[in-house]
Structures are given as C-alpha cells and as structure tokens.
Amino acid sequence: MNEIDNGKILALRTLAISGVIAVIFYLSHVIGGRMVWSDYNPLIQPISDLTAASSISQPVASRILWGYDIFNLLFCGVLLVFFKRFFPINKIFYSGLILKALAELLSTFGYKLFPLADTAWGNSFQNTMHYAITAVIVFSYIVLSILLALGLAKAKIYPKMARFLKMFSFIFIASGFFTVIATQVLPSYVGLIERVNLYSLMVLNVVLAFWMRSLLSPLALKSED
C-alpha cells in the first residue's frame, strides 16, 4: 500500500461510493414504483412486481433501476480490483467477490431479458426463466456469503467485519428460506419477508463500501508504513 500515490487513493475512495449510490437507486426504484402504483401492497407483493411487464409502475421503476444496475456493476468491479491489487485477503474471500460479480451480472442482464411477465406469477416461459434466474442468483449469494465470511474469519485481521459477514450470511440465508415458506404458509407477509432478504444485500453493499474507504483512510494507510 505504500506505493499507492495520493491520486490513486482518492480515486479508489471515490469509486467505493458507487456501492452506496447503487443502493440509493435501488431504494428509489421501490419508492418511485409505489408512488405510481397506489394499490401496491408491500406486505404481500414482492419488489419484482414493481418492474413486471404488465405493472403500471414498470416504466418508472425500470428506468430508475438502470441507475442501480450501472453503479452496482461498477462497485463489483472496484471490489475485484481493490482486493486483488491493493488489499488482498485470501483466495476464499476473493472467490466470494468473484461470485458476487457474476451473480450481479446475471441479475442485471438476465432480468432485463426475462422480466416478470405479470404480477399474477403465471406459468409462462418468461416467468419460468425469471424464476430460474432468481434461483441461480439466490444460490450464488448463499455460497458467496459463506465464502466472504469464512475467508475473512480465516484471515483474522478484521474481526468486526468478519462478525458482520457472518451475521449477514445468517440473515440472508434464513430470510430466503422463510420467504419460500411464507409463499405457502403466510402469503399475506411474503413481501415483508422478501424485503428482509433483499435489503440485507443493500446493507452488504453499503458496509463493504465504507469498509473499503476505511481501509484507505489516512490513519489506516499510515499504520501500514
């Protein structure tokens, strides 16, 4: 880290904010979609209903979501470069970051090709492909959350962040499991439980962004000297 000049440090710290900006766009697409679709019920309906091809909120929510897609992919790239060239942890942790980038690429382009066709969640080809993409992404995030937590725990140099990643893994996996259960047992609360699952991903982005910035703070860099 001693070889990184001030310009590179400033650039990396600035680019790290892309993770936070992505989350702002994601929340904005939810808020914007609900403003257009006044009858939308967040307790029952999943977030993906807002961008379904047949929904009244689709034009607004989908346009806003482009901001999330762009900044989210940028953030994934920044994480890969940063933890490869400047702050390598170990192969386990980095494998988690690679899987995160691949999952986000699939999410961005897969959902653009196969958006939810209708809010009735019918058994059309388009919806089937949407479900399949979702299944792959969820499985990928289960694996990558475990890789990130195990990798950082193994490094034994960032205990607070390692504890957070363990907590994130538990919340994401548990909420994903209960979302599936709720579709059969508690359909009136599927939207609420799903939000715990999806918003945990947004929290992960924000925490990773600020953690990366903290690693590049003047005090942290001075301790490396």
Rounded to an integer, what distance in angstroms lies between the CA atom of residue 88 and that of residue 79? 11
How many domains does one find in the chain? 1
- What domain range is 72 assigned to? 6-224
Assess if residue 148 is contained within a domain: yes
Q: Would you say residue 192 lies in a domain?
A: yes
Query: Which of 20-29, 115-124, 155-164, 173-182 shows the lowest per-residue confidence on average (mean pLDDT)?
Result: 115-124
Q: Who's near 130: CB < 8 A, 6+ residues apart? A: 48, 111, 114, 115, 116, 117
In a domain, 162, yes or no: yes
Residue 160: what are its φ and ψ, rounded to 5°?
A: -65, -45
Q: How many CB atoms are located within 10 Å of the residue 207 CB?
A: 15
Owner of token pair 């937590």:
149
Is residue 46 included in any domain, yes or no?
Answer: yes
pLDDT band at 185 (very low <50, low <70, confident <90, very high): confident
Judge contact between 212 and 16, C-beta under 8 A: yes
Cα distance between residue 61 and residue 186, in whole Å? 27
Structural domain includes residue 39: yes
Q: How far apart are CA 58 and CA 51, in angstroms?
A: 4
Mean pLDDT along residues 102-115? 93
* pTM for the whole structure: 0.90
Does the residue 1 lie in any domain?
A: no
Position 169 in a domain? yes
122 found inside a domain: yes
pLDDT at 115: 86
